[in-house]
Structure 1
Amino acid sequence: MSSASLPLPAHHHAEPGTLARRLGHLGLVPFVAGALFVWLLGTRLDDEPFFFVVRGLTAYAALVVSFLGGLHWGMLMWLSGSAADEPALQKRALWVGIGYSLAGLVAVLMPPHAGLALIGFVLIACYLIDRKLYPAMGTAGWLTLRFRLTLVASLSCFLAAAQI
């Protein structure tokens, strides 16, 4: 039986609500502020405060990537008894969730310019993978928000990495 034909639980919501959209956009503030800081103020500051902000942006971006991986685990728990019972979907979502977190860890351990560039690519890869997984888990309505957030967050990472 395909995951598309399985009934979704009653608590399923097709699209994010107002609060989710607002919080998602609020989560972009550290990305945009970090990239702006690096571009506008980076050359005017001493190394220590500059790299404090760069490391902060890298760590925040890695946390967001890890959060995206945790969503897969959470959705599987929430969908227990429906599409989540499909073994192939379970396996894919669980491995992807762990992969996101590990990619974030690797990025934090790299030099900041390389780590931020990696996270920019990982954010895009996460979105492309989630374009296949979200519909299977009944959350395709969240992809428009995910696309917008991914676009701004990855662009911020790339811009900051280019200036370091």
Structure 2
Amino acid sequence: MSVATTHLTSPAPWAAEPPRLARQLGYAGLIPFGLGAVLAWLVYPEAQPLVLRAVAAYGVCIVAFLGGLHWGLAMRAGHNEPAHFVWAVVPPLVASVAALMPENAGLVLIGVMLLVCYAVDRKLLAEQGLGAWLTLRFRLSALGSFCCFLAAASA
């Protein structure tokens, strides 16, 4: 087996905490949520549906990303348990429903789903030795959810 093949098949040891770049990008990922929530309250009524649609679209992407994360982790760890793969597709399916709903209702569903994803991650990330990521995940999920709820309340 070559060195390259070994690298692809053996999981890398996980860091004690998320790398600085991951934290920076995670917090930067809150900008569309925060800016959208503020704008939803400040823009003219004619522009508000567009702002809400933009926040909802971004939220749908984030929730789908959170599901995809578990698919990748399950593949990397070589899990044969269907539950890991099944959970990986639940967030994108729920997000697609949120995308079809009126924006204010969809934003509530997205906010709830961000919290549900965190709750599931508390168990699954710890099982995979990624418990150090939970503080960051909690902050991102709580703030993202709050912004979704705040934007939804503006309508």
Alignment TM-score, normalising by the size of structure 1: 0.84
Partner of 2:26: 24
- Inter-partner Cα distance in structure 1 for 2:75 and 2:16: 17
**Residues 148-157 or 12-21, more deviating:** 12-21
Partner of 2:3: none
- Inter-partner Cα distance in structure 2 for 1:145 and 1:121: 18
Partner of 2:93: 102
2:60 equivalent among 49, 59, 62: 62
- Would you say 1:123 and 2:121 are equivalent positions? no
Q: Quote the RMSD (CA, aligned, Å).
A: 1.4
- Would you say 1:51 and 2:42 are equivalent positions? no
Shift of 1:46: 4.8
Aligned residue runs from structure 1 range 68-83, under 5 A: 68-80=66-78
- Inter-partner Cα distance in structure 2 for 1:14 and 1:118: 33
Amino acid in structure 2 at the alignment position of 1:68: L
- Inter-partner Cα distance in structure 2 for 1:79 and 1:32: 34
Shift of 1:140: 1.1
- Asked if the contact 1:14/1:138 (under 8 Å) is kept, the reply is no
**CA-to-aligned-CA distance 1:57-77 (integer Å, 9 cap, x gap):** 101001000000000011122
Partner of 2:133: 142
Partner of 1:40: 42
- Asked if the contact 1:113/1:162 (under 8 Å) is kept, the reply is yes
Alignment TM-score, normalising by the size of structure 2: 0.88
- Inter-partner Cα distance in structure 2 for 1:154 and 1:121: 7
- Asked if the contact 1:69/1:97 (under 8 Å) is kept, the reply is yes
Partner of 1:5: none
- Inter-partner Cα distance in structure 2 for 1:24 and 1:136: 22
Q: Higher RCO, 1 or 2 (CA under 8 Å, sep at least 6)? A: 1
Amino acid in structure 2 at the alignment position of 1:92: A
- Inter-partner Cα distance in structure 2 for 1:93 and 1:117: 25
- Inter-partner Cα distance in structure 1 for 2:107 and 2:26: 20
Partner of 1:4: none
1:153 equivalent among 136, 144, 152: 144
Percent identity of paired positions between Structure 1 and Structure 2 = 46
